[in-house]
Structure 1
């Protein structure tokens, strides 16, 4: 199976994609169309400006059809994770990894982050959803089945057997009613005790079926070079093939009957997943197969991770905050920091709108009120050069406004300082101080300029995965 690394937001030509997919342009066209259909690949017109860009703007995206031999478009992956299409695996690594061609270790860590970030959903992504269609997500199903096996073992059904003088629970009713009793000093003694033993049926149809599919899943993921990337071990549990269990209709019929009598939640989930797997009878090699593990919105993942490790207190009740001075009586102790931001009043209605400013995260430390904004940008900030790839003017003005929105609360409670800071990912190993973003007309109002810090993504992820908070002092704000 073909397995290649591609970088998020990098501009690829059609010839580049043919090389990555290892096929001719004629064969590549339907694959490119499928990737576009599911929103993981976008097209932009070729230009010198586009070639050097590290982000993709909505207004730059072209919706034209793909034609063989065209050289007027760049193709841009807008996805972080793993894409499998027609036997071709594309391992999409984040855009800030500018100098790595085979970032296996980095992507392995990113996948761990995505797995943890998505654990709250508690669902199996059996289908890929897109604006235009949906398709069976075989990769997610294979990964789920293997992960569940390592956590819970193989599917099994047990039966209770009655034994004489066994080691299990004594069945006193059965012992009294069905065995011979000896009396001594008016006390009954039973020489033959009936006991209950729970036995696993090693030849159970669904246990064998589960083992067969787990073995097949391991083979497919091993061929796709994904077992190592997901830090999983393949299993070889049986020599049986799916054909040994009957034709597709018979297997689905048996699963439906088992579902009707099975009330264990985990077993139900396994049965439904196996049902979907057999019903769609897919393979990672199928031309129509497109499977995804990852996200189109890694910027949201970056924001969520930064909020976690920086101890975001936006949703903490005011009464629980550690303030320099006691909470003033005019503030509702059950309110949260996010509730203090003013909402716009529309005088024609006499009501305020629901939408207002929402900071990414706020930390309070040692009497400092710190407003962070996690920015998933590849900013080029070199002395003497015009900045490129940096957050736009709207991000800068909003960051100033966040401070303005909390100014009264900050003053009322005696904070000794306010800090504003952009947090951006980098592939380097050290925190980088990249100066400030400032606008004199807003600084003149007494508002703090915005510090810019590049954070080593590897370090940020390590904190997140180990549930550790980052030392804000290390940012040297």
Structure 2
């Protein structure tokens, strides 16, 4: 039995080649292949090995170095740009978010993060079977296993039904068959039937596809258990079958049966399930295979953080203004069905033709805030412009400012207020607040400070406040679909 090596690494942390070799117990001749595989799938980047890089927690494009020769090369450090789980043969890489600085093995935090990732991607109905092209090497077995297990806990085992005819059963009476096939007693010129034919629909317990589904689910559960991933994904073990896939026939026969079932199945959920079972059987892969990579997670955890903040703070950006709790009624020039996002002006392009006349074209895109909240506190109304920023900011007395949003992020936040100035004035909104929201490992909300540009503050625009939010609390609310009272931010 192959030894499974399961290790935690932190997103955006810099690792030397020797550190990777020691962490994952790699032999000297395995290091190059390990690094190149991870880089090929975009989950590992290389940067210059210098003191400046070691201090950073955020990776930017210009930091990335491409190096063909990795062996015994101390000129580079390696950075995981992924949050989630990666399997590389017998090695399990658990990449936790970069804000978890004070933990080397954050099991509980990682369990919660994976639940957030599952909910974040739950609206996507297509299984990510492949990491890029469709060859066997890039087949994403981990994504398939997790899809099958999550589908089972939501919908149960695949089932086909059969209709059974009974005598004097509890199902629907088949009058045509009863009249034609049974004897009637006549009393007062009325027929009375002592035996009624009835029909009921039952699950076929011996159905080929039900048994195959149970077999594959059991197999998937065993693979996760062997890889020490059942606990990480907080999944109960599944023991539904003692059969092996080989008991159902050779692979071509099983695939033929699955394809035949797909051709007559019109239920969307069952179609997706059959396709996934087909892919599982067709590729004959296990998590511990020595080739290929499987992944479950994201290279863009910043988008996950934005989604969490938007839901927890009740984003009103796409809410019709007629549904907002405003101090005064809607005035002229505002229709109740337009949204806050629609109010922001789009750039107007003016062109000159050959006859010295002009023509105008509106751009399709414009400024788009992450989220906006309209908060009523007694008699006061606040218009709050939030921007969810996935940064580990270093804003400490006696230390250099590091890992902070760039000038473009700061200026856009001021521009958002300018974009809504007329709306805010027209509806007599009392105060406007600007705020960056950043995750923290701590338990309390931290008033971290402000960022300002005097030339824009002189225009009457609000300085941008910075709040560090406990990620654990935010995820709990997000998973429970609960809203946080914005008053606790004390803006």
Distance (whole Å) between structure 1 residues aligned to residue 257 and residue 183 of structure 2: 43
Equivalent position of 1:303 in the other structure = 306
Equivalent position of 1:248 in the other structure = 251
The change in CA–CA distance for 1:351 and 1:134 in structure 2 (over 3 A counts) is: farther
Equivalent position of 2:354 in the other structure = none
| TM-score normalised by length of structure 2 | 0.94
Distance (whole Å) between structure 1 residues aligned to residue 366 and residue 259 of structure 2: 50
Q: 1:129 aligns with which of 132, 136, 152?
A: 132
Distance (whole Å) between structure 2 residues aligned to residue 373 and residue 268 of structure 1: 40
Aligned pairs (5 A) from 1:307-456? 307-348=310-351, 349-366=359-376, 367-456=381-470
Offset of residue 143 of structure 1: 1.1
Counterpart contact for 1:374–1:422, Cα < 8 Å: yes
Q: 2:145 aligns with which of 142, 145, 154?
A: 142
Distance (whole Å) between structure 1 residues aligned to residue 439 and residue 202 of structure 2: 54
Counterpart contact for 1:283–1:289, Cα < 8 Å: no
Equivalent position of 1:27 in the other structure = 30
Counterpart contact for 2:137–2:293, Cα < 8 Å: no
1:59 aligns with 2:62: yes
Aligned pairs (5 A) from 1:175-194? 175-194=178-197
Q: Deviations over 1:247-304 (max 9, x none)?
A: 1111111211222233333332222111100111111111223111111100011111
Equivalent position of 1:156 in the other structure = 159
Counterpart contact for 1:25–1:69, Cα < 8 Å: no
Secondary structure of the corresponding residue to residue 424 of structure 1: strand
Counterpart contact for 2:142–2:294, Cα < 8 Å: yes
Where structure 2 has 5 or more consecutive residues not aligned to the other structure, the ranges are 352-358
Q: 2:223 aligns with which of 220, 224, 238?
A: 220
RMSD: 1.8
Distance (whole Å) between structure 2 residues aligned to residue 283 and residue 251 of structure 1: 18
The change in CA–CA distance for 1:185 and 1:243 in structure 2 (over 3 A counts) is: same
The change in CA–CA distance for 1:351 and 1:266 in structure 2 (over 3 A counts) is: closer
Counterpart contact for 2:137–2:292, Cα < 8 Å: no
Distance (whole Å) between structure 2 residues aligned to residue 92 and residue 168 of structure 1: 54
Equivalent position of 2:265 in the other structure = 262
The change in CA–CA distance for 1:103 and 1:355 in structure 2 (over 3 A counts) is: same
Q: 2:484 aligns with which of 462, 467, 470?
A: 470
The change in CA–CA distance for 1:281 and 1:127 in structure 2 (over 3 A counts) is: same
Distance (whole Å) between structure 2 residues aligned to residue 196 and residue 331 of structure 1: 61
Secondary structure of the corresponding residue to residue 278 of structure 2: helix
1:13 aligns with 2:16: yes
Secondary structure of the corresponding residue to residue 43 of structure 1: strand
Distance (whole Å) between structure 2 residues aligned to residue 322 and residue 223 of structure 1: 54
Give the total of aligned pairs: 477
1:276 aligns with 2:279: yes
Offset of residue 384 of structure 1: 3.6
Equivalent position of 2:104 in the other structure = 101
Moved more, 262-271 or 245-254: 262-271
Where structure 1 has 5 or more consecutive residues not aligned to the other structure, the ranges are none
